[in-house]
A and B are shown apart, each in its own frame.
Chain A
Amino acid sequence: MKNSTINLRDLVILVADPNAYLRRVVHGMLRGFGANKVLEVTHSFSLFEALTGQKIDILLCDTRLPPHGGLKATHTIRCNVYNQNRTMPILLMTSDTSETMIKRARDVGANMVVAKPMSPNSLYDRLSWIALNPRPFIDTATYFGPDRRFKIEGYPGGVGRRKGDKAIEVAEEVGPALAQNDIDKLFSATRSGQS
């Protein structure tokens, strides 16, 4: 893939996070990427309300979203056959990057997981992945969501955390048990039944 540029203009992006400051940060990043329709909600009740009344193009949801949590919210969205947003891309944001959490996120139907604290790079690359690497949906008795057996061929456009990347004034994420690269690998690990 030669071009990793994505065009977010006129896409309706919903940010669901209880942290007001973090919503401002994510909102600012998305504006910088070119998004002009960013909605925000603080809890899952308003999330479901927002999803009922309109078409949302992508959801960025925190795993600690009160009161149900982002995993439960994702599962509920994927299970609701009557909701027009059932197949929208869902990007989960989490500071708990234990392997258990990442696998659970994958198994409830999240498209991607981005580790907090996040940088513009990490957010942009995950949005690029979702946009430029479409995956089929799987509907089984126990799972509804994007195909978990996908293969990451590298960062879109060959960019990412490499030595040649442009330096950016945001520190590397510290804190997660799994680094963002490991999270991404875990999402692709089921390809040959590895997990």
Chain B
Amino acid sequence: MSEKPEHETLIFYVDSRFERMARRPGGIAREEALANAQSHVDELKFDFVDWLDQELQQLDAALSQIEVDPNDVTVFDRANNICSQLRDVGTTMGFELVTFVAGSLCAILETIRAGATYDKEMIDCHINALFLVKTDPYRNMSPGQLPEMSSGLRRIVDLAIQTTPEEPGPEAEQLAVGKIPLSEGDDGPR
């Protein structure tokens, strides 16, 4: 005698409004839609540098507070959030290096969260790099075009991981082992 299953597996189709309406005729052709979207993104680029400046000032201030009290979770989260924001929009706005350096700093912050010692030189190095790569000459440049800076930041992350008692988050590991490419086609440090 078989027992009645507690939860029968159901497979069903949902004709969602999204699928239904998105398939309607009359949509903007893909090429045109992409061009329109890019144009909206380009409009935002005008005030991106101002926004970036403000975020960097706030990040710098938050990191200074962490230096005083590394256990201040609120300030730490604020710094981490700002850093993540820079990483998430940098490339989209044409500043690939901002994404790269901010990603590296996120990895450093992860190691501090995991118990690594706050190293002022490591942090300052990243902040200085951020202030540098946000300037116009570095717009549209990839990390592969600045191999010394890129590999230097990687070594810093690697060093931070080595001094971390707990396992840091995946991002730090990815950066350290070179899974994050310096640029398209680059497999990372050999």
Binding site for B on A (CB under 8 A): 4-11, 18-19, 21-22, 24-25, 28-34, 55, 57-58, 64, 87-89, 95-96, 98, 100-101, 116-121, 123-124, 127-128, 130-132, 134, 136-141, 147, 157, 159, 166, 168-177
Contact = CB atoms under 8 A, between A and B. Distances in A.
Contact of B100 (A11, A57, A172, A174): A174
A168 B102 CA distance: 24
Contacts of B21: 7, 9-11, 57
B12 A9 contact: no
Main SS at interface, chain B = helix
A55 to B, nearest CB: 7
A25 to B, nearest CB: 6
A34 B33 contact: yes
A34 B17 contact: no
B88 A120 contact: no
Q: Which of A5, A64, A96, A136 has the most CB of B within 10 A?
A: A5
Contacts, number: 207
- Lowest 9 A-B CB distances belong to which pairs? A32-B37, A7-B27, A28-B40, A32-B36, A131-B22, A141-B7, A120-B37, A117-B91, A98-B170
B12 A124 contact: no
B142 A171 contact: yes
Given A124-B34, A177-B179, A117 B90 contact: yes
B87 to A, nearest CB: 6
A131 B17 CA distance: 10
B100 to A, nearest CB: 6
Contact of B89 (A4, A11, A25): A25
B1 interface: no
Interface stretch (B56-64, B111-119, B157-165, B180-188): B180-188
Size category, B interface:
35 or more
Given A7-B28, A131-B23, 12 more contacts: A29-B41, A31-B37, A34-B33, A95-B103, A96-B169, A117-B89, A123-B37, A130-B19, A169-B94, A174-B100, A175-B100, A177-B180
A171 B18 contact: no
B64 to A, nearest CB: 22
B170 A131 contact: no
B151 interface: no
A62 to B, nearest CB: 8
Contact of A174 (B14, B43, B93, B183): B183
16 contacts: A5-B30, A8-B27, A19-B81, A21-B44, A25-B89, A28-B37, A32-B33, A33-B28, A33-B37, A34-B27, A34-B28, A100-B170, A127-B22, A139-B9, A159-B30, A170-B91
